[in-house]
A and B are shown apart, each in its own frame.
Chain A
Amino acid sequence: MPALYALYVINKSGGLIYYKEFVPIASLNLNDTLRLASIWHSLHAIAAQLSPAQGCTGIDLLLTETFDLHCFQTLTGTKFLLVVEPRTPDVAELLRTTIYELYTDYVLKNPHDESQHHGLREEQGPRAEGKDKGKTIVPRSVKLFTYQHRQ
């Protein structure tokens, strides 16, 4: 009996960055996963708003009869969802340490990473029109790397 069904990584705007299913779940195509990720992003925020107690950060765990869904939200707003068999132990620990560390090491520390580009483009927008017309957009991590080298 498999314990892990699927992993979703959602960016801070609610869009799906990564999806992996460990057990083939038929009738769930890519469009559905994209929609589910956006739905979850909104529900996470609404649950925090409706909280009867102060300082709620959103849904951490959803319990159903056929699966459990664990959500880990990082300080930057990225959410990691893991769909598991009910009552699987230690999933929160797995998300927080192993999966998050692998994501930061292999994805975020990659200087050619494309996933953070739309944020950068919006910031560069007005300035780019003024002075830097015609220059290519460089990932922020590469700019930091080259700046340090100049020092």
Chain B
Amino acid sequence: MVCYNFYIFNRQGTCLCYHEWQRPKSVKQGAGTPSDDQKMMFGLFFSLKTFAAAMDPRTENKAQLGGPLRIGGACTFHSYATNNYKLHFLESPSGIKIILNTSPEIGDLRDHLSTIYGSIYVEYVLKNPVYMPGKPFRCQYFIGALTKYLQDCRLT
């Protein structure tokens, strides 16, 4: 039960926060540079969201493939699993996207991601008077609270 890394993006695609606990495959072997890695991750999610909206078997009010999607809503996809990692995703109504990569045996983390957004991100970052919205931030208390919360959850 391992957490690999963690991203927060805003609706424009800026990576507001990136943190890794372990990364056996380095960024150089993957995307090349950290900023390419973040852009690729954002692009992957944007496309997966469009893909999931087009594949949705409910037929009422379906977005056309390639058309604009409502920000914050209509995102039905919440995670994907590969053979060696699982990715969990949450989009808030304001367009803030939280992405967490873990080992594949972990179950559904939607409630945990909501708690991370509501009790950790909002408390430590948004309510911080020094924080400028839309800019990347580095906050030790936020990372500390996040790590502690994940450690508490991993035991359950």
Q: Which residues of A contact B76 (CB under 8 A)?
A: 64-66
Q: Which residues of A contact B48 (CB under 8 A)?
A: 43, 62
Place the interface of chain B in its size category: 35 or more
Q: Are B40 and A53 in contact (CB under 8 A)?
A: no
Q: Are A36 and B80 in contact (CB under 8 A)?
A: no
> How many A-B pairs fall under 8 Å by CB?
112
Q: Are A35 and B65 in contact (CB under 8 A)?
A: yes
Q: Pick from A39, A52, A58: contact of B51, CB below 8 A.
A: A39
- B105 at the A interface (CB under 8 A): no
Minimum CB–CB distance from B53 to chain A (whole Å) comes to 9
- B83 at the A interface (CB under 8 A): yes
Known A50-B37, A60-B83, A61-B80; contact A36-B30, beta-carbon cutoff 8 A: no
Query: Which residues 1-55 of B have a CB within 8 angstroms of A?
Result: 4-5, 20, 22-25, 30-31, 37, 40-41, 43-44, 47-48, 50-52, 54-55
Minimum CB–CB distance from B150 to chain A (whole Å) comes to 15
Known A43-B47, A52-B4; contact A67-B30, beta-carbon cutoff 8 A: no
Contacts A52-B22, A60-B81 aside, 20 further interface pairs with beta carbons under 8 A come to: A23-B57, A35-B65, A36-B51, A43-B44, A50-B37, A50-B44, A51-B25, A51-B30, A52-B20, A53-B4, A53-B84, A58-B82, A59-B81, A63-B78, A64-B52, A65-B76, A66-B57, A67-B55, A67-B56, A83-B57
Q: Which 5 residue pairs are nearest across A and B when measured between Cβ atoms?
A: A52-B4, A64-B76, A64-B77, A65-B76, A61-B81
Please list the residues of chain B having a beta carbon within 8 angstroms of any beta carbon in chain A: 4-5, 20, 22-25, 30-31, 37, 40-41, 43-44, 47-48, 50-52, 54-59, 62, 64-66, 76-85, 87, 101, 103
